[in-house]
């Protein structure tokens, strides 16, 4: 009877501790991260010594033009990498061989990034125009829309742009004429963000200012729903500036979004109902992997959240204060860059740092997984374009080695256990 009571006590203590210490631990994380939410890199977190479990290898490196603007995104299309520069040029690079195919020296004043199809480039410029030019450099059309920082989105026969005042415009892809226009409410003070729009099954999704997100019918430009998932806080307009600077993530029936000063949330993508939300602030894009949502806090701490329960799977503070600005997921590896030119590789399952590679001395402007799915392309602000082979064979070998060691430990423990049991039996026989 006493043993049963002891088991019940242990069970209830475990339940209570999981209910109490979990929220307390997460509150501790919030307090720690709230002390460092700036781009101050005077005292970054010192890098810890690690032993690489994978060996990323530099395959090729090409120098383009210096690029200090963080919103100039690269484009990868059928083996050709297109890189716009602040000077208005476009470098075309063979993504596998690392050779410059062509350079558009047109002084195009590109202010965000470019998208393309088989025959044409589309981009916005600093004068407020959307441009379409052919691969042979002849102009198709040029249409004025206004100030744009987000990259245009190609949807069938349309080019869709999002203006800084939350106006959405769809242009005819053939002649640049306006098909529809939608104006969402805009706060007095907002961040000039380049958070991209996403499209799925006839619906356009986009974050807007004041902690809101909306869904538009892509054919009509009509509003399907608009939801406020993160209420602005504070008295001044500066304090209340709480935008959605990242790109929303679609996963099954959910859409995940995060605000710059407020909340991470999961919504029903059909009607915009908030499924859950939790305090969290980020300027960076969210990443989806299996049942997890990965995000970088404004302090530099990296988090993995459970998609359904919003609980924290793991948190890594190795890059606190190091301004991690580009991240992507390659198989089960999370790659994150920092302001000193390092690329950091983390195990997506537990958040442990498994490798590090230095690719220069400046921050990165963009990265993309190569179309062969075996390598990653990085572009830094000095204009260096690098292709990194992830050497997954080495990683698999390491994993198999680790698994073998675990099996050996289990077998050894079992042998030790058998020896102990034999010794006990011998002693019992002796005392008998």
pLDDT tens profile 338-386: 999 999 999 999 999 999 999 988 889 899 999 888 899 999 998 899 9
Average pLDDT over residues 255-276: 93
Residue 97: pLDDT above 70?
A: yes
**What is the torsional sign of CA 32, 303, 366, 52?**
positive
**What is the torsional sign of CA 315, 316, 321, 325?**
negative
Tens digits of per-residue pLDDT, 37-56? 444 445 677 888 898 899 99
Q: How confident is the model at residue 142 (pLDDT cuts 50, 70, 90)?
A: very high
Average pLDDT over residues 49-68: 90
% of the chain at pLDDT higher than 90: 49
Q: What is the pLDDT of residue 191?
A: 56
Burial of 164 (0-12, 13-18, 19+ CB in 10 A): middle
Q: What is the pLDDT of residue 135?
A: 87
Could you identify the residue written with the tokens 């993530």?
A: 249
326 near 366, Cβ under 8 Å? yes
Least confident of 84-88, 108-112, 193-197: 193-197
Which residues, at least 6 apart from 84, have a Cβ–Cβ distance to it below 8 Å?
72, 73, 74, 90, 108, 110, 113, 114, 123
Please state, in angstroms and rounded to a whole number, the distance separating the CA atoms of residues 337 and 127.
31
User: pTM of the predicted model, to two decimals?
Assistant: 0.80
Q: What is the pLDDT of residue 31?
A: 55
Residue 21: pLDDT above 70?
A: no
Least confident of 119-123, 141-145, 259-263: 259-263
280 near 264, Cβ under 8 Å? yes
Residue 14: pLDDT above 50?
A: no
Q: What is the pLDDT of residue 241?
A: 59
Average pLDDT over residues 150-172: 93
With b for 16 or more beta-carbon neighbours within 10 A and e for fewer, the 138-152 pattern comes to eebbebebeebbbbb
Residue 2: pLDDT above 90?
A: no
Which residues, at least 6 apart from 57, have a Cβ–Cβ distance to it below 8 Å?
388, 389, 391
Tens digits of per-residue pLDDT, 106-129? 788 888 788 998 889 999 998 999
Cα end-to-end distance, the chain, whole Å: 30
The mean pLDDT value of the chain amounts to 82
Please state, in angstroms and rounded to a whole number, the distance separating the CA atoms of residues 151 and 224.
22
Residue 130: pLDDT above 80?
A: yes
Q: What is the pLDDT of residue 113?
A: 80
Q: What is the pLDDT of residue 413?
A: 60
> ∠208-209-212 over CA atoms, to 5°?
60
Average pLDDT over residues 187-200: 71
């Amino acid at each position: 009877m006493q043993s049963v009571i002891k088991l019940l006590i242990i069970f209830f203590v475990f339940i209570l501790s999981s209910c109490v210490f979990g929220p307390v631990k997460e509150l501790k994380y919030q307090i720690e991260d709230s002390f460092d939410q700036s781009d101050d890199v005077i005292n970054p977190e010192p890098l810890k010594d690690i032993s690489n479990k994978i060996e990323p290898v530099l395959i090729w490196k090409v120098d383009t033009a210096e690029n200090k603007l963080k919103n100039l995104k690269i484009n990868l299309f059928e083996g050709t990498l297109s890189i716009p520069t602040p000077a208005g040029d476009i470098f075309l690079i063979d993504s596998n061989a690392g050779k410059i195919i062509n350079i558009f020296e047109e002084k195009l004043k590109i202010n965000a990034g470019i998208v393309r199809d088989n025959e044409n480039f589309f981009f916005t410029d600093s004068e407020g125009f959307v441009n379409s030019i052919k691969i042979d450099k002849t102009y198709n059309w040029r249409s004025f829309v206004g100030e744009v920082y987000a990259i245009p989105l190609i949807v069938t026969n349309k080019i869709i742009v999002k203006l800084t005042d939350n106006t959405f415009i769809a242009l005819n892809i053939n002649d640049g004429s306006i098909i529809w226009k939608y104006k969402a409410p805009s706060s007095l003070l907002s961040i000039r963000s380049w958070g991209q729009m996403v499209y799925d099954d006839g619906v356009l999704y986009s974050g807007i200012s004041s902690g809101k997100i909306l869904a538009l019918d892509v054919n009509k430009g009509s509003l399907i729903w608009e939801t406020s998932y993160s209420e602005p806080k504070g008295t001044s307009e500066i304090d209340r500036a709480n935008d959605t600077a990242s790109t929303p993530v679609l996963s099954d029936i959910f859409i995940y979004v995060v605000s710059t000063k407020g909340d991470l949330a999961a919504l029903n993508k059909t009607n915009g109902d908030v499924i859950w939300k939790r305090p969290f602030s980020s300027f960076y894009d969210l990443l989806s992997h299996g049942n997890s949502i990965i995000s970088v806090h404004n302090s530099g701490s990296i988090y993995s959240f459970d998609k359904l329960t919003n609980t924290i799977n793991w948190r890594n503070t190795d890059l606190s204060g190091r301004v991690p600005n580009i991240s992507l997921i390659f198989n089960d590896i999370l790659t994150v860059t920092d302001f000193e030119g390092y690329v950091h590789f983390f195990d997506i399952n537990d958040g442990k740092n498994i490798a590090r590679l230095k690719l220069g001395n400046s921050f990165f402007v963009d990265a993309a997984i190569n179309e062969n799915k075996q390598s990653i392309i990085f572009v830094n602000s000095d204009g260096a374009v690098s292709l990194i082979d992830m050497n997954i064979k080495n990683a698999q070998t390491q994993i198999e080695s680790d698994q073998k060691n675990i099996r050996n430990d289990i077998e050894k423990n079992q042998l030790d256990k058998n020896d102990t049991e034999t010794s006990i039996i011998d002693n019992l026989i002796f005392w008998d």
